[in-house]
Amino acid sequence: MTTFTRFDVTDYLDSQEMIAEYLSVAMEDPDPDHFLQAVAAVARARGMTQLAKDAGVSRESLYKTLAPGAKPRYETVFKLMHALGVQFKVQATH
């Protein structure tokens, strides 16, 4: 019998480059919840408490911000991106 281990993306979010690429791909999905789920995965990989501290938000607020269906303010998302050491990049589509 073959046994499988459960896949957890956080096991692979071990570098800034991997985190940036993961979030970039998530932003391509038109569903904003997909991006928030990706940020939540990165937050788990980094540690929710540390990310909340680095972003200057409470841990409870961080969980609410990243909950499915949340509509976080741009300012909050910007703080999280800064705390994660990544930035948004805009490029033209053709």
Residues 80 and 90: their CA atoms lie apart, in Å, by 18
Rounded (5°) CA angle 34-35-41: 90
pLDDT: is 93 or 85 the higher one?
85
Check residue 91 and give its pLDDT.
84
Predicted TM-score of the model (pTM): 0.88
Residues 19 and 5: their CA atoms lie apart, in Å, by 22
Sequence ranges of the domains in the chain = 10-84
pLDDT digit string, tens, across residues 33-56: 999 999 999 999 999 999 999 999
The pLDDT confidence band at residue 89, using thresholds 50, 70 and 90, is confident
Do the Cβ atoms of 61 and 55 come closer than 8 Å? no
Phi, psi angles (nearest 5°) of residue 60: -65, -40
Check residue 90 and give its pLDDT.
85
